[in-house]
Amino acid sequence: MLILNKTAGVFFKPSRRKIYAFLGSFHFHPGKLFLHKLVLGIETSCDDTAAAVVDEAGNVLGEAIHSQTEVHLKTGGIIPPVAQQLHRENIQRIVQEALSASEVSPSELSAVATTIKPGLALSLGVGLSFSLQLVDQFKKPFIPIHHMEAHALTIRLTNKVEFPFLVLLISGGHCLLALVRGVSDFLLLGKSLDIAPGDMLDKVARRLSLIKHPECSTMSGGKAIEHLAKQGNRLHFDFQPPMQRAKNCDFSFSGLQHVIDKMIMQKEKEEGIEQGQVLSSAADIAAAVQHTVACHIAKRTHRALLFCKQRGFLHQSNAVLVVSGGVASNLYIRKALEIVTNATQCTLLCPPPRLCTDNGVMIACADQIDQRDN
């Protein structure tokens, strides 16, 4: 059984054999015979309060999510105490909704799985303390989940992917390239040296005041940039992808963001408008920004793929690149990555958009994904 060492403040992950032996005792309920484990997944690492109930075959029995995007758009970014408060206000309802949708009561659960890291400490704390109360009240095992591992393994819910594979995680809070050799066996190949791409796109969208654009007012920054870019001409601006000479697989976005900021300031002068108004060239800037970010991500990923193939870390003939995280829902970035995978005879796989962003399903499944018949 999973042991939660409260006094030491440390989580010990028990052996799978012990978890399974323990979970075996939860299969029977008067009137109902559960053939599967039923795991409740709870995610509060950043700005999404999410929960889901999943059985051991990966069937999603019920899920619910509350996104804080609209509030954070208004305040101009995620303010951790605000995110914490919103998680507190919503977690009970979201967990209840997931349980009701799945027609499972807390006593019928086999375990509760919750994101414990990485993420915003204040946000993580809400999910964790809620989960601890729940496992304490209903005497359930607790499964601590690493958020990035959950993102990386989600693809195994929808596709037959064998280890090893390369994973690119691109979101608002994360940016990394890793070789996934097995569950909990990751080799980090590259990461952002500063901010994540979603964070950068959110900042550029804010600087462009896209919240005032009638078509983008409720969209996250990244989504607004993608939407507007379709109407723009990227060739009107020339931003250089960062780190072109760096012989590694790391990323950087804050230098580029600074260059874009300066360009926006210059355009505001030229158009004679104040900061806070939408530039007439906003769509062209969005298109150029999206293109530059896509090029940077694709180039670093290309290096990682070549490196892994050269070293024999990935299969020569059927290597797989998995891309996940909120930014992975950007179709232009996906297209750039497809060019890279086609050129290196690799397969590109992306989870469906609802599983790309933070969600409860990936948390509920993370600990059991390697048990599937893949």
Query: Which C-beta is closer to Mg ion: that of 172 or that of 232?
Result: 172
Both tokens of 171, joined, read 């979101």
Distances (CA, A) of 49 to 81, 96, 244, 286, 329: 14, 12, 38, 29, 19
Binding-site partner at residue 325 among Mg ion, ligand ADP, none, CB < 5 to 8 Å by type: ligand ADP
Binding-site partner at residue 329 among ligand ADP, Mg ion, none, CB < 5 to 8 Å by type: ligand ADP
Dist. CA 70–CA 87, nearest whole Å: 14
Instruction: Return the amino acid letter for 361.
Output: V
Binding-site partner at residue 284 among ligand ADP, Mg ion, none, CB < 5 to 8 Å by type: none
Binding-site partner at residue 55 among ligand ADP, Mg ion, none, CB < 5 to 8 Å by type: none
Query: Which C-beta is closer to ligand ADP: that of 23 or that of 78?
Result: 78
Peptide bond preceding 118: is omega within 30 degrees of 0, i.e. cis?
A: yes
Nearest approach, Cβ of residue 44 and Mg ion (Å): 10
**CA-closest candidate to residue 346, choices 373, 372, 374, 308:** 308
Query: Which C-beta is closer to ligand ADP: that of 38 or that of 333?
Result: 333
Q: Name the site residues for Mg ion (rule: CB under 5 A).
A: 46-48, 358
Query: Which C-beta is closer to Mg ion: that of 48 or that of 226?
Result: 48
Plot region of 57 (φ>0 → left; ψ -120 to 50 → alpha; else → beta): alpha
Query: Which C-beta is closer to ligand ADP: that of 178 or that of 327?
Result: 327
Query: Which C-beta is closer to Mg ion: that of 123 or that of 301?
Result: 123
Binding-site partner at residue 294 among Mg ion, ligand ADP, none, CB < 5 to 8 Å by type: none
Nearest approach, Cβ of residue 326 and Mg ion (Å): 6
Dist. CA 348–CA 191, nearest whole Å: 20
Binding-site partner at residue 367 among Mg ion, ligand ADP, none, CB < 5 to 8 Å by type: none
Q: How far from each other are the two terminal CA atoms of the chain, in whole angstroms?
A: 25
Nearest approach, Cβ of residue 273 and ligand ADP (Å): 24
Q: Which DSSP state fits 192?
A: B
From the number of C-beta atoms within 10 Å of its C-beta (0-12, 13-18, 19+), residue 274 rates as exposed
Q: Name the site residues for ligand ADP (rule: CB under 6 A).
A: 46-48, 171-174, 198-199, 201-202, 220-223, 226, 325-327, 329-330, 357-358
Nearest approach, Cβ of residue 266 and ligand ADP (Å): 24
- Cβ neighbour number for residue 277 with a 10 Å cutoff: 14
Binding-site partner at residue 144 among Mg ion, ligand ADP, none, CB < 5 to 8 Å by type: none
Query: Which C-beta is closer to ligand ADP: that of 63 or that of 358?
Result: 358
Nearest approach, Cβ of residue 198 and ligand ADP (Å): 2
Nearest approach, Cβ of residue 64 and Mg ion (Å): 15
Nearest approach, Cβ of residue 294 and ligand ADP (Å): 10
Both tokens of 135, joined, read 């496992």
Helix locations, 106-253, DSSP H: 121-138, 147-153, 155-158, 197-207, 221-229
Nearest approach, Cβ of residue 308 and ligand ADP (Å): 24
Binding-site partner at residue 149 among ligand ADP, Mg ion, none, CB < 5 to 8 Å by type: none
Helix (H) / strand (E) element for 362: namely helix 360-365
Query: Which C-beta is closer to Mg ion: that of 46 or that of 166?
Result: 46
Please, what's the b/e burial string for 278-305 (b: 16 or more CB within 10 A of its CB; e: otherwise)?
Answer: bbebbbbbbbbbbbbbbbbbbbbbbbbb
